[in-house]
Structure 1
Amino acid sequence: MPKFIVHFVHFHTDFRRAELEALSRLEGVAVECDEQTGGDDSPFLVVEVASAEAAARLVRRGILVRSIAEYWGSGATYDEVFAEVRRRPERWAEHAQRSFRFTVEAFGRTLTQAEKVAVIESFSFLGLEGPIRMHGAETEFLVCEEHGDPPVRNGPKRVWFGRVVGRGSRHLIDRFDVKKRRYLGNTTMDAELSLIMANQALARPGALVYDPFVGTGSFLLTCAHFGAHTVGSDIDGRQIRGTAGFRRGVDGLQANLAQYQLAGRVVGTAVFDICHHPWRPGPLFDAIVTDPPYGVRAGAKRLGRREGSAPRPGRSPDCYPPTVPYEMSDVIRDLLDFATDKLVVGGRLVYWLPTVADEYEPADVPQHPALRLVANSEQPFGGWSRRLITMEKTAQAAGSAADSAAPAHRNFRDRYFAGFERKDPTY
């Protein structure tokens, strides 16, 4: 199969391959990766895809993909690149009369304008006779110097050259930028990560996606943008409705639906505890996408009474029921059990798992016999990390989630505010 160069952005590096795998599933494009490329220290991954059209389709929803280029050559020096390009003269002859442009970039250093011009002129042997167009060119060539992170001395580690055939959808980060959003909460998820999660969940037209800790509805918006119908719930309805319940006007989640014109794809929201939900038994959702509360910016609660407490005499039946703290490991265990029952076979659970960095082990990720771990991507914050966990339902099965004896997310809130100073055996 033809080879292509995937040009990633160079952050959230642990998420890039997981998103590419999800894009492959979404678009039905088979991909073979060159494992000698695309490490955490490089934004370039060489892949084999059936055609340029399939390559463009593969990355068109990509959030961490800048572009994909038909592979024409690479090497430690420009001479090595030129030699490889010259082996296929029929390929560049095809573009000789078309309008064109060159994009010259470097990873690990900044090229001057004079250096870029010199690079472009070094490819004069291609014999391009068409007009140069900076916008709307029929053919775009990409030249990338990879200097490394940190950069190496005495020139680039590798030079990449190819013809751009497709781009990702990084413009959506600006569209859903939380700074431009009409309604926010203290737990509103970053737009870039929300979009990545929508891809991980395989959000698509015809799918039904659910967020059981919906908050201000970030995941409802991004999944709906990709065509899915979405629904959400939360134990605290104040975040969903904002102040709309107390004054006139559009507020809360409804303000965001109006802003992005997505009201037709958001089925609705409800207020209830996931442990006491009204959903009918059996499979219902194609994906569950959520950020469970772990007590840093918002505390986790569930319905219940503290030990030894009793109902107040004469209290109205219309009052809010009492709640109790909801420990993080219990939240995740219940979430996996819920997903096992409510996901269709092949459906995905995508959620954030906070962990104490120094104590995390892969075995800490809760498992369920009916759920297969697809991806585990880390976003580090120093003493702790949060991990984007993607699981796929493989069978309709009973049983409960298995948890290790002392996972690195147990009693996370207490550990966070204690500064991760110690590891208590009771944790």
Structure 2
Amino acid sequence: MPLFLVYFAQFHEEFRLPELDSLSILENVPIAYDAATYSPESPFLLIEVESAALAAKLVRRGILIRYIIEYWGSGATYAELFSHLKQDPSRWSDYMTCSFKFTVDAFGRSLTQREKVSAIESFSFMACEGPIKMKNPDVEFFVCEEYGAPDTPQPLDAPKKVWFGRLLNQGSRDLIDKFDVKKRTYLGNTTMDAELSLVMANQALARPHALVYDPFVGTGSFLLTCSHFGAYSLGSDIDGRQIRGTAGFRRGVNGISANLAQYGLADRVLDTAVFDICRNPWRPGPLFDAIVTDPPYGVRAGAKRLGRRSGNDPERSLRVVDGVENFRRSDYLPPTVPYEMSDVIGDLLGFAAEKLVVGGRLVYWLPTVAGEYDPKDLPTHPVLRVVANSEQPFGGWSRRLVTMEKIAPLQGDSAAELPEHAPAHKNFRDRYFSKFEALDISSTTD
């Protein structure tokens, strides 16, 4: 099959291949590539696709993809690249009378305008006869010089590789700005940033007519991004104040509904509800095409479930104030108890195993203490297969974006299989704060 060059954004390097694979499924475009040739230090990856039209379709909603280019050749030097190109002049013969433009880019270094012009002029052997057209040309030739990662201590004076081809399409990185949390009418202290919310929507295979659910909806970031891609979405949370926007957040008092109006997505977000996911009202059996969520870790907001601490008055909810029973008051908050992180994840897998349709995906964040994570920490389930597990580090801790796919109907009472050891996310809140308190102490004594 023909070769195409994927030009990734140099961000979230562990997430790039999982998103690419998800786009292949979403767009029904089979691809092939050698994973051994992928490097987090480089934004380039050669893939095989059946046609240029399918390659252009593949990346159109990519968030971590800048461009896709019909690969014509590469070389360690321009001379080596030209030698490669001249072996097959038929590649450009079809475009000799078309309007055209050249785009010259570099990874790991900024090029001057003089250097860009010099690079363009070096392709004069192609003898393009058509008019130069800077906007909407018939064909756009793409040259990129690769120097290495931008933070390389000693940048190279000359590129280590030069890539060339015909630019076909670009990804949807403009959506990062559109959904920038700083521009939202309503946000809170746990609002997920736009880029990763969009990546999660892609890995969840959010698409028209799919039904996506967030059981820890918070301020509703995933409802926005999944519904932007055409899915119907809904969410729930044990704390209705986050949904309504009455919990003292930085901006907005209309809650999630204000953001839905801002982005014109109210017709795709079916509803939000307030209940404990452990006591959910959903009918038994498969219901959702995807479950996308960021369970509360306890760092900025702790997980809770319904329950009473020992010693609490069990009759409190039945007390009558001004003729109204407590539990019937609009401002009544039912009693809750802490929900330990490893229990949250185990219950989440059990819920997904029942409520996802076969082929549906669970996409969730798993926090972990840096240096303590072990692949065996991940709970498993007989009907759920791990598709991707990507880390976002934060120094003393990190979080992992875990994507799982339901591969078979749930049989009987099969439950999530929890690790026999204490995983790195168990009692995460306590371990997080104790770790950073220790770091603070050491820094003051040095």
Task: Please indicate the TM-score interval, normalised by the length of the shorter structure.
Answer: over 0.9
Displacement after TM superposition at 1:420 (Å): 5.3
- Give the letter for the 2:327 counterpart: P
Structure 2 equivalent of residue 104 of structure 1:
104
Is 1:345 equivalent to 2:358 in the alignment?
Answer: yes
Is 1:356 equivalent to 2:369 in the alignment?
Answer: yes
Displacement after TM superposition at 1:309 (Å): 3.2
Distance 1:142 1:101 in 2: 9
Structure 2 equivalent of residue 394 of structure 1:
407
Displacement after TM superposition at 1:37 (Å): 3.1
Structure 2 equivalent of residue 425 of structure 1:
none
Q: Is the 8 A contact 1:98 1:130 kept in 2?
A: yes
Is 1:77 equivalent to 2:109 in the alignment?
Answer: no
Structure 2 equivalent of residue 378 of structure 1:
391
Structure 2 equivalent of residue 415 of structure 1:
431
Q: Is the 8 A contact 1:212 1:290 kept in 2?
A: yes
2:163 to 160, 164, 186: 160
Q: Is the 8 A contact 2:240 2:274 kept in 1?
A: yes
Structure 1 equivalent of residue 92 of structure 2:
92
Displacement after TM superposition at 1:317 (Å): 3.5
Map residues 19-418 of structure 1 onto 2, 5 A cutoff.
19-149=19-149, 150=152, 153-243=156-246, 251-312=254-315, 314-315=318-319, 316-318=326-328, 319-397=332-410, 398-404=413-419, 405-418=421-434
- Give the letter for the 1:296 counterpart: V
Q: Is the 8 A contact 2:213 2:291 kept in 1?
A: yes
Displacement after TM superposition at 1:111 (Å): 1.2
String of CA shifts for 1:269-318, please: whole Å, max 9, x gaps: 00000001000000000000000000111111000011343414552332
- Give the letter for the 2:349 counterpart: L
Bigger CA drift: 211-220 or 80-89? 80-89
- The secondary structure found in structure 2 opposite 1:418 is helix
Distance 1:186 1:353 in 2: 18
Distance 1:395 1:305 in 2: 37
- Give the letter for the 1:320 counterpart: L
Q: Is the 8 A contact 2:363 2:404 kept in 1?
A: yes
Q: Is the 8 A contact 1:37 1:44 kept in 2?
A: no
Distance 1:415 1:78 in 2: 54
String of CA shifts for 1:27-74, please: whole Å, max 9, x gaps: 111111133533111000000000000000100010000000000001
- The secondary structure found in structure 1 opposite 2:205 is coil
Distance 2:385 2:86 in 1: 46
Q: Is the 8 A contact 1:377 1:388 kept in 2?
A: yes
Displacement after TM superposition at 1:108 (Å): 1.2
Displacement after TM superposition at 1:347 (Å): 0.3
Displacement after TM superposition at 1:96 (Å): 1.1
Distance 2:350 2:94 in 1: 56
Q: Is the 8 A contact 1:74 1:84 kept in 2?
A: yes
Displacement after TM superposition at 1:205 (Å): 0.5
String of CA shifts for 1:105-145, please: whole Å, max 9, x gaps: 11111111111111111011111122222221111111111
Q: Is the 8 A contact 1:287 1:349 kept in 2?
A: yes
- Give the letter for the 2:95 counterpart: H
Distance 1:124 1:181 in 2: 49
Q: Is the 8 A contact 1:215 1:240 kept in 2?
A: yes
Distance 1:317 1:122 in 2: 77
Q: Is the 8 A contact 1:207 1:229 kept in 2?
A: yes
Distance 1:127 1:250 in 2: 62
Distance 1:264 1:198 in 2: 18
Q: Is the 8 A contact 2:213 2:292 kept in 1?
A: yes
Distance 1:290 1:195 in 2: 12
- The secondary structure found in structure 2 opposite 1:288 is strand
Pairs aligned (count): 419
Distance 1:34 1:146 in 2: 20
Q: Is the 8 A contact 2:245 2:253 kept in 1?
A: no
The ranges of structure 1 where at least 4 consecutive aligned residues each deviate by more than 6 angstroms after the TM superposition are: none
Displacement after TM superposition at 1:152 (Å): 5.2
- The secondary structure found in structure 2 opposite 1:358 is coil
Distance 1:363 1:133 in 2: 56
Distance 2:253 2:95 in 1: 53
Structure 1 equivalent of residue 3 of structure 2:
3
- The secondary structure found in structure 1 opposite 2:431 is helix
Displacement after TM superposition at 1:154 (Å): 4.4
- Tell me the TM-score normalized by structure 1: 0.95
Displacement after TM superposition at 1:86 (Å): 1.0
- Give the letter for the 1:317 counterpart: F
Q: Is the 8 A contact 1:201 1:287 kept in 2?
A: yes
Structure 1 equivalent of residue 322 of structure 2:
none
> RMSD between aligned alpha carbons?
1.7
Structure 1 equivalent of residue 323 of structure 2:
none
String of CA shifts for 1:157-185, please: whole Å, max 9, x gaps: 11111101111001111111111111101
Distance 2:35 2:195 in 1: 26
- The secondary structure found in structure 2 opposite 1:32 is coil
- The secondary structure found in structure 2 opposite 1:354 is strand
